[in-house]
Structure formats: C-alpha cells, structure tokens
Amino acid sequence: MKETRRLLMTENSSAKTSHERGVALIVVIWVMGFLLSIGLVLLTVTGTGPKVAGNVRTQQQAFNSAEAGFDVAWDQIEEFFETSVWSTFDNHYLTAPSGVDIPTDDVYFRKLTNLEILNYIDPNEDGTPDVDNVLFCRQPYVQKQDGSWDLRYTFTAFLIDDEAGGGTAAPNDAILVCIGCAGIGNNLTTVRLEIELAVELTE
C-alpha cells in the first residue's frame, strides 16, 4: 500500500508539473507577442516621425511663399495707385480661363486646386503667364549664396473680381489670390491665400 501511495503521489506531481509548464509556455508566448507588437509600433512611429516633420516643414515653407507673394503684390498695387498707374481695379482682374471668376462655372478659381490654377496660368512652367492680368507668375524670392534665385520657393499672385458672378460692379475692391509653392515637380507643395482688398476712391 505504501508503494501504491508513493506511485499515485508521483503521478499527481508529474501531472501538476506538466500543467505548470504549459501555462508558463502560454504566458511566455503572450509576453513575446506583446513585446513584438510594441516593437512594431515603435518602428512605425520612429519611421513616420521624420516624414511628418518634413511634410510640416514643407507646408510651412509654402505658406511663407504665399505670404511673401502677398507682401510683394500689395506693395506693387499700392505703388500703382499712388503713382496713378491704376485708378481702380477694373481691367486688372484675371479673366482667363473663361469663368475663372464666376462661382457657378466649373473653372471657378475656388473649385480648382492650386496646381490646376497654376497649369491654366502657366502650362509650360517657364515662369511666363499665358494669360493676361497676372501680377506675378512662379516668382522666386529666395536668393542663394551665389546670388542666383532658389526656384524651389515661388509665388503666383492675381486679382479676382468678386462681383463678376453677379451683383453691383465695384471696381474699388478685389480678391488678391496668392499661391505659394515649395518644392519642384512632383514634390510640389502649395498654399493659397485669399485676401479681400478695397481702396477708397476720391472724387
């Protein structure tokens, strides 16, 4: 009887040890899976972080280009009015392509992307507009150390008649549109600013 009891105790002990080993294996596999998933998340975050930072930086550069375009265009418009080159905004609005200033038209400027507008104005990308009444077309404004212009940073500026789609004509106001660009070719990032301008006309 003692031997039988000893044998039964040995079998129970062996079963318990086997069960504990099975639980330990499952816990180890679970912990390894958890650590692997954490590692993959960290790799993804560290890999996309620089890309996100680069995109934000490029977007800021494009915004700076649009702001530079506004500053330069505003200075030129002020000079035109001060020197009486212009007396109103009339005949200085962008009107091509036909319908660019009419809200119901498919080519209304607010229905177009920045790149579509640029392609209408300068389809061959040579910096010379193919339509009239463009204040600045792909104008670089950053100089390199050697004195040449950095063509990665440009702006395009033009005026839109906000009454062209209907309403009473008001040649003393306009929408100044500035499109800032950062980059070249397929890596081009753009930002558009729209500013309502009005001049006080003296009788």
CA 119 to chain centroid, in Å, comes to: 17
Instruction: Look up residue 18 and give its amino acid.
Output: S
Q: Give the other-Cβ count within 10 Å of 59's Cβ.
A: 15
Q: pLDDT by residue (tens digit) across 21-65?
A: 666 777 778 878 877 887 777 777 666 666 655 567 888 999 999
Q: How far is CA 22 from CA 8, 18, 63, 64, 95, in A?
A: 21, 6, 61, 63, 78
CA-closest candidate to residue 159, choices 76, 60, 62: 76
The pLDDT of residue 119 is: 92
Tokens coding 202 = 């003296």
**pLDDT value at 15 more than 90:** no
Q: pLDDT by residue (tens digit) across 66-77?
A: 999 999 999 999
**What is the rounded distance in angstroms from the CA atom of residue 177 to the CA atom of residue 136?**
11
Q: What is the pTM of this model?
A: 0.72
Per-residue pLDDT band at 7 (split at 50, 70, 90):
very low
CA-closest candidate to residue 131, choices 170, 177, 100: 100
The pLDDT of residue 1 is: 45
**pLDDT value at 147 more than 80:** yes
